């Protein structure tokens, strides 16, 4: 499923990743696929060449995730490790942080989780209560995080905390690299009623002591606020915009997989001597699902290009719209695919039933569709806030 607006290089990447995903399939071994994708250079395609990456951008990484999803084997940690954490470190990390983390993130031998969501903050990142305070040359972090993916397999977690601005006294966000075995850094698995390779965790940071170089960007200048009160916000949005773009890719790939299974079934399943796909009641909803997924992909591509061009403001608007459109298209595509197969759509053989709940995740994570509508109404349309 290529598009004429893509370059020859993008079409070649799409075909190569599709072949990899098809070879592994729906019942793939997660670790084997991750390792092979890393060896082939797909995991770090967006990271700088100087640190082992492919030197491309989120545009290319989104192609990788979309095609793996369309083959039935999406890798959720692509959203987190190279897209969020990798981009943040590549753009704002110290030279030592880049050398320490980017090569491993690029080839898949190292993983990094991302910790922002908190039990009481919800969608309001300004209410984050995890704090970081100076203690001599160290930082000490205290707080809680929830619904953090892949902490058990990650070498470290990029934690969003708030520090006091020395000039204003106000709290501002800063990002810290917390290795998984750091004393006081504890995780508890959350019992999720959804089948996924990546587990969800609640994190507790109990007086977690970190060296100065754990602060992304490092050094006391960031702590003193010399980068401006919102300096940490730049780092945060450097990760959140790719997160939304990659979530869109995840949803589009999932939706494509569902539609492909339904179309194949509708071609073959015959009732009253006629394939059910010949009936408009079956064909038209699948056609609509295909159209919706294609439209969502166009917005995702726009968002990725804006981000890769350095237009963070424009990318923010487009990334939110892409994530919204892709999630809605995915949910409808999966629902229609299951409906097309009837009872077979709920069997393990066809691999669609598990997507019913998985598709809805894209509607609520990393930000709900209602909060995206709030963003568009306020930021794009200039309407007043109700909160």
Q: What is the pLDDT of residues 162-201, one digit of tens each?
A: 987 666 667 788 999 999 999 999 999 999 887 778 899 9
Residues 178 and 221 occupy one common structural domain = yes
Pair of tokens at residue 357: 């709940």
What's the CA gap between 185 and 180, in Å, rounded? 7
Pair of tokens at residue 13: 């990447």
Q: Is residue 3 part of a domain?
A: no
pLDDT beyond 70 at 312: yes
Q: Are the CB atoms for 157 and 148 separated by under 8 Å?
A: yes
Residues 241 and 148 occupy one common structural domain = no
Q: Are the CB atoms for 147 and 200 separated by under 8 Å?
A: yes
Residues 209 and 136 occupy one common structural domain = yes
Residues 41 and 81 occupy one common structural domain = yes
Q: What single string gives the DSSP state of each residue in 129-161?
A: --EEEEETTEEEEEEEEEEEETTTT-SEEEEEE
Q: Is residue 140 part of a domain?
A: yes
Look at residues 86, 110, 134 and tell me which one is the last residue of a structural domain.
110
Q: What's the domain count of the chain?
A: 3
Q: Is residue 105 part of a domain?
A: yes
SS3 367: coil
Q: In this predicted structure, what is the pLDDT of residue 124? A: 66
Q: In this predicted structure, what is the pLDDT of residue 327? A: 98
Locate tokens 């569709």: which residue?
369
Q: Is residue 322 part of a domain?
A: yes
Q: Is residue 2 part of a domain?
A: no
Residues 78 and 101 occupy one common structural domain = yes
Measured N-to-C along each axis, helices 312-341 and 231-268 cross at an angle, to the nearest 10 degrees, of 20
Residues 375 and 316 occupy one common structural domain = yes
Residues 238 and 376 occupy one common structural domain = yes
Expressed as residue numbers, the domain containing 130 is 113-228
Residues 117 and 77 occupy one common structural domain = no
CATH code of the domain containing 83: 1.10.540.10
CATH code of the domain containing 210: 2.40.110.10
The whole-model pTM stands at 0.93
Long-range contacts of 374-379 (CB under 8 A, 24+ apart): 375/317, 375/320, 376/317, 376/320, 376/321, 376/324, 379/316, 379/317
User: 229 CB contacts (<8 Å, ≥6 apart)?
Assistant: 165, 167, 168, 170, 172
User: 250-284, pLDDT tens digit by residue?
Assistant: 999 999 999 999 999 999 999 989 999 999 999 99
Q: Is 179 exposed, middle or buried (CB count within 10 Å of its CB: 0-12, 13-18, 19+)?
A: middle
Q: Is residue 33 part of a domain?
A: yes
Instruction: Identify which of 194, 302, 327 has the alpha carbon closest to the alpha carbon of residue 250.
Output: 327
């Amino acid at each position: 499923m290529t598009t004429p607006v893509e370059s020859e290089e993008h079409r070649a990447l799409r075909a190569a990743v599709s072949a990899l995903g098809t070879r592994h399939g729906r019942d793939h071994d997660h670790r084997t696929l991750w390792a092979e994708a890393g060896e082939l250079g797909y995991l770090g395609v967006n990271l700088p060449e100087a640190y082992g990456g492919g030197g491309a951008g989120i545009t290319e990484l989104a192609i990788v995730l979309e095609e793996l999803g369309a083959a039935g084997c999406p890798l959720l940690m692509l959203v987190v490790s190279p897209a969020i954490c990798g981009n943040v470190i590549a753009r704002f990390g110290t030279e030592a942080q880049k050398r320490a983390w980017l090569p491993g993130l690029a080839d898949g031998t190292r993983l990094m989780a991302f910790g922002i969501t908190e039990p009481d903050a919800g969608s309001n990142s300004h209410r984050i209560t995890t704090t970081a305070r100076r203690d001599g040359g160290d930082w000490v972090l205290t707080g809680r995080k929830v619904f953090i993916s892949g902490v058990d397999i990650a070498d470290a977690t990029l934690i969003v905390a708030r520090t006091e601005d020395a000039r204003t006294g106000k709290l501002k966000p800063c990002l810290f690299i917390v290795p998984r075995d750091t004393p006081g850094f504890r995780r508890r698995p959350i019992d999720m009623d959804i089948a996924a390779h990546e587990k969800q965790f609640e994190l507790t940071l109990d007086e977690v002591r970190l060296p100065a170089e754990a602060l992304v960007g490092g050094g006391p200048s960031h702590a003193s606020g010399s980068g401006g009160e919102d300096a940490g916000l730049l780092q945060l949005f450097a990760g959140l915009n790719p997160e939304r773009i990659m979530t869109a890719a995840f949803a589009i790939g999932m939706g494509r997989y569902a539609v492909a299974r339904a179309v194949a079934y509708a071609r073959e399943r015959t009732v009253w001597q006629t394939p059910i796909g010949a009936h408009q009641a079956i064909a038209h909803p699948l056609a609509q699902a295909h159209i919706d997924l294609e439209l969502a992909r166009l917005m995702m591509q726009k968002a990725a290009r804006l981000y890769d061009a350095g237009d963070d403001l424009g990318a923010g608007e487009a990334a939110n719209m892409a994530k919204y459109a892709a999630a809605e298209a995915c949910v409808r595509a999966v629902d229609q695919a299951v409906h097309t197969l009837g009872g077979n759509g709920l069997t393990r053989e066809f691999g669609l039933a598990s997507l019913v709940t998985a598709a809805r995740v894209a509607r609520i994570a990393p930000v709900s569709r209602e909060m995206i509508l709030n963003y568009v109404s306020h930021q794009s349309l200039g309407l007043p806030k109700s909160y």
